[in-house]
Chain A
Amino acid sequence: MQLKKYSINTALYALMLLCLIWALSLILIMLMSSLKTQVNMFEMPPKLFFAPTFESYREMFFGRGDFPRFLKNSLMVSILTTIVCLFLGVMGGFGLARGGFKREKDISFWIISTRMAPIPAVILPLYLIFSKLQLIGTTTGLILAYTTFNLPFALWMMTTFFKDVPADLEEAAMIDGCGKFRAFWRIVVPTASPGIVATAVLCLMFAWNDYLFASIFTNRQTQTIPIAVSLLVSQSGIKWGQAMATGTVIITPMLICGLLVRKYMVRGLSMGAVK
């Protein structure tokens, strides 16, 4: 019996190891390739131990690719989008969670279907409107485009987080003489702050990771890093070293952010369906 249990556990860990290799091998290969020389990168099978070089990164940052500008654009657009959507989303989410509006169901449905709309179908009409408003190629245009999915996301998530905060809390504060808005800022927002942080991180991630919107709405001045990836690939001959380094720069901050709010990640990615 003891032996059987032991062998079952061994099998479970072996399977787990297999899953981990499947999930992580790509990320590790990218990381290692970005630190290899062009020659080492293409050795088969890939070497696990090698003398790391930062040549690809040096070329990426200081070469002719103008990478720092891509990085700056990406940072600016995703941070500004997150601030705008979070501000509106926190206020609106509270309104929707507590308002008891008669049309609450319809509003929720509208919000979620906006978030779930296929990106190509959103890009097309926005492109036509933005070109009339001269917003193509501007940072404002891209921020507005990202708002189409991040605002409904923030609204929806904040509604579910605020519904978890008992209404007695703010009612008690109001009985103690707190104004209604003050009760919201001083009592409800701090209570829901883990949810707010998690929502912010996900908004940041959705904007940072986007490629398709950026490929249509940006020009040479406003391109973001995902565009840098596609430029490295589509030009004649792929610069794999720089492409791997760029990929690493794109995913590293998101891995760190994601792990920081790990507890709320699944809830966010499942639109609040998993508490």
Chain B
Amino acid sequence: MEQAAIRPLKRRAKWNRTEFWMLLPSVIVLAAITIFPFFFMIYASFMDYRLDMDHPRFAGLENWQNTLTDETFWQSWGRTVVYAGGGLILQLLLGTGIALLLYHIPKFRNLFSTLVMLPVFVAPIVTGLLWRFLLDPTYGFYHWIVRQLGFDVQILGDPNFAMLAVIFMDVWEWTPLVTLIVLAGLQTVPEEPLEAADVDGANAWQKIFLVMLPMIRRMIVVALLIRSMDILRYVDTIVITTEGGPADATKTIGYYLMQVAFRFQDIGSAAAVGLTMLVVSTLMGRFFIKVLKAEEA
């Protein structure tokens, strides 16, 4: 009896060693391509560093001071908040709505959810291309529709509408992901509370808002976190449609970084900007892990 209890323990110890060696190559590769560059970026943020320079000069806090006092930096973060906030709210509302729709549809639910899912496979650069094509002031279909409705506005050329347009590009591409995450949550809601609500005479809306949505709120938070991190990651649609314009209306922090680094060639300041982005995304990642852990418990 005692032996039987000890033997698996020993085996486990042996396994651990193998597992350590199995994980090690990944850790080494990942460290080489992420941790080292990370420290390099911290170093660069304290240097006067231009793309054509072989020997950067120590600059102290100059880059940080320039960056943090630069109005464009804060405006870019501000626009990022609008872009991400607007996009996330729309995706969440639409995504949850469509998920509830799919949940209640009596037939072909799988077919419909597969079809609705397709935009997530489209490369963001192609999404941008398509929207640019459809919004083109001379021969774009969506522009034509807008004009038929009586509005004559060059959507991508107008500072007020350009931001709305890039938000809609993200909404078009990623709402389906929110839908599918929420739908997966809805399908795990057990029958009993719904039946109990029926007995109590609840109508369909009450069941949705008082029973289903509260039960899947963790899924909704997961969807929000995944999307908020990805919305910070990509700038592809902005690069191909508006290039940050018109009049900087769509210059988000990611686009600003690319501009400072590769157009103005001011690596030191760009590094400081990059570090602020990393701090934000890391905090969100930490929150994501917390939510996941809470879900498992």
Footprint of B on A, CB under 8 Å? Answer: 9, 12-13, 15-16, 19-20, 22-24, 26-27, 29-30, 33, 41-42, 44-46, 88-89, 91-92, 94-96, 98-101, 105, 107-114, 116-129, 144, 147-148, 151-152, 155, 171, 174, 180-181, 205, 208-212, 215-216, 226, 229-230, 233, 240, 243-244, 247, 250-251, 254-255, 257-259, 262, 265-266, 269-271, 273-275
13 contacts between A and B (CB under 8 A): A23-B172, A94-B19, A117-B281, A147-B29, A180-B18, A211-B124, A229-B126, A230-B239, A247-B126, A269-B180, A273-B219, A274-B185, A274-B222
Q: In the complex the two chains form, is B134's CB within 8 Å of A26's CB?
A: yes
A266 touches B41 (CB 8 A): no
A170: nearest chain-B partner, CB-CB: B15
Whether B281 contacts A45 by the Cβ 8 Å rule is no
Give the distance to chain B from A18, nearest Cβ to Cβ, in Å: 10
B264 at the interface (CB under 8 A from A): no
Which residues in A have their C-beta under 8 angstroms from that of B36? 129
Interchain pairs with CB closer than 8 A, number: 290
- Assess whether B262 is in contact with A216, with CB atoms less than 8 Å apart: yes
Q: How many residues of B contact A (CB 8 A)?
A: 101
In chain B between 95 and 144, which residues have their CB closer than 8 angstroms to a CB of chain A? Answer: 98, 101-102, 104-106, 112, 114-127, 129-134, 138-139, 141, 144
Q: Which single residue of chain B is at the shortest CB-CB distance from A92? A: B26
A95 near B30 with CB under 8 A, answer: no
| B76 shortest CB reach to chain A, Å | 11
A20 and B33 form a contact (CB under 8 A):
no
Q: How far is the CA of A205 from the CA of B49 in the complex (A)?
A: 35
Contact A211 B117 (CB under 8 A): no
Q: Is the CB of A15 within 8 A of B101?
A: yes
Q: Which of A15, A44, A171, A273 counts the most B-chain CB atoms under 10 A from its CB?
A: A273
Complex alpha-carbon distance, A164 and B87, angstroms: 34
**A229 near B125 (CB under 8 angstroms)?**
yes
A-contacting residues of B (Cβ < 8 Å)? Answer: 8, 11-12, 14-16, 18-27, 29-30, 33-34, 36-38, 40-41, 44, 49, 98, 101-102, 104-106, 112, 114-127, 129-134, 138-139, 141, 144, 172, 176-177, 180-181, 184-185, 219, 222-223, 226, 229-230, 232-236, 239-240, 254-255, 257-258, 261-262, 267, 270-271, 273-275, 277-278, 281-282, 284-286, 288-289, 292, 295
CA of A247 to CA of B134, assembled, Å: 14
CB <8 Å contact, A118 and B277: yes
- Chain B residue nearest to A17 (CB atoms) is B112
Asked, given contacts A113-B281, A251-B123, A266-B180, whether A96 binds B130 with beta carbons under 8 Å apart, the answer is: no
**Contact between A116 and B281, CB atoms less than 8 A apart:** yes
Chain B residues near A100 (CB-CB < 8 A): 12, 16
A220 CB to closest chain B CB (Å) equals 17
Q: Which residue of A lies closest to B115 (CB)?
A: A20
With A88-B26, A114-B30, A230-B240 in contact, is A125–B277 under 8 Å at CB? no
**Among B44, B117, B121, B134, contact of A205 (Cβ-Cβ < 8 Å):** B121
Q: Are A45 and B141 in contact (CB under 8 A)?
A: yes
A269 CB contacts on chain B under 8 angstroms:
120, 177, 180, 226
Partner of A118, one of B38, B185, B240, B278: B278
Q: Is B133 a contact of A171 with CB atoms below 8 Å? A: no
Q: Given A26-B134, A266-B177, list of 18 further CB < 8 A pairs?
A: A12-B104, A23-B116, A24-B115, A109-B286, A109-B289, A117-B34, A119-B254, A120-B254, A120-B257, A123-B261, A125-B38, A129-B37, A129-B40, A205-B121, A212-B234, A230-B125, A250-B125, A270-B222
Asked whether, in the complex, the Cβ of B112 is within 8 Å of the Cβ of A16, the reply is yes
| A122 touching B37, Cβ below 8 Å | yes
A116 near B240 with CB under 8 A, answer: no
- A125 shortest CB reach to chain B, Å: 4
Known contacts A107-B27, A128-B40; A229/B240 CB under 8 A: yes
**Contact of A42 with B139 in the complex, beta carbons under 8 Å:** yes
Residue of A94, A117, A205 with most chain B CB atoms under a 10 A cut-off: A117
Known: A126-B37, A211-B239, A244-B133. A120 touches B277 (CB 8 A): yes
Is A99 touching B129 in the complex (CB atoms < 8 A)? no
B231 to chain A, nearest CB (A): 10
B258 to A, closest residue via Cβ = A120
Chain B residues within an 8 Å CB radius of A266: 177, 180-181, 184
B30 proximity list for chain A (CB < 8 A): 110-111, 114, 151-152, 155
Kindly provide the distance from the CB of B297 to the nearest chain A CB, expressed in whole angstroms: 14
Chain B residues, Cβ within 8 Å of A23: 115-116, 118-119, 172, 176
- Chain B neighbourhood of A180, CB < 8 A: 14-15, 18
- Cα A211 to Cα B19 with chains together (Å): 36
Min distance, Cβ A26 to any Cβ of chain B, angstroms: 5
Evaluate contact between B119 and A27: CB separation under 8 angstroms. Answer: yes
